[in-house]
Amino acid sequence: MKSMAQDVKKTTIGFVGTGVMGRSMAGHLLKTGYPLLVYNRTKAKAEELIAAGAVWKDTVAELAQEADVIITMVGYPKDVEETYLGENGILPHAKPGTYVIDMTTSSPLLAKKIYEEAKKKDIHALDAPVSGGDIGARQAKLAIMVGGEKEAFERMKPIFEQMGTNIVYQGEAGSGQHTKMCNQIAIASGMIGVCEAMVYAKRAGLDPENVLKSIATGAAGSWSLSNLAPRMLKGDFAPGFYIKHFIKDMGIALEAAEEMGMMTPGLKLAKSLYDELAEKGEANSGTQALYKLIDQQL
């Protein structure tokens, strides 16, 4: 069997969900030379890809019938479920032998369900959520955490390599999603600390940008501190990752943690703060908008 890298011109990829991150991810695949089919609920969000050579499909079912590999990057678990298992979804219409990769942050239980239903149809399913936000997506430097069969992972790895640099196989179906929950739990409490630190610097009469030079590379260093704190200080609260989606992720993590009988005090606090932000009209802002709440700008 030829490798996926050798089959670039012959492997048709279907991409469902061309929003903030999906658009960049799909764009890298197109630039690599993969024939690309695209579908998004709002066609306007796919126009840039269509102009670059992607082929628009009017329905998920039509895309599924033609693609050899199908990647999804949609919003919520209910969207994932409908996209894969609905009457006009992927699994009822994809060809046997198709590889399907859900890169949405979704429920580990749903990932297992999709895997099991796909296996009945001789379709290979992977759950492969990502981390790195819009910056990582644009730069093709996403962290990709993958669950499913190891053989399917190895087959798809050349495709993952077009979108990310830290690509790790985590185990059986659902493992990718569980790993992403670990990621989101770490970010949730960390974001509170980043925001508090930046507001503290300002209230203490310091130059917050200068403070960042001292603390970003030390023990306090984090992706959020290096990438999102500068946005906070510039008043840039545009979404690299939507607050509404982060709330969704934290809800999934809380539910999974409760099932395991685990305490998550930091996660609970972070979700309560982000819930408050959403109630104040910030659901479509980026996660760095927590700074506004800590600084009492709302």
| Sole residue written with tokens 């979404």 | 239
Distances (CA, A) of 117 to 56, 66, 111, 153: 27, 20, 10, 18
Residues catalogued as catalytic: 180
Bridge-based pairing of strands 124-127 and 69-72 is unpaired
Instruction: Write a three-state SS string for 50-82.
Output: HHCCCEECCCHHHHHHHCCEEEECCCCHHHHHH
Asked if 41 contacts 60 with a C-beta cutoff of 8 angstroms, the reply is: no
| Sole residue written with tokens 């190891």 | 150
Distance CA(270)–CA(247), nearest Å, equals 9
Distance CA(34)–CA(10), nearest Å, equals 8
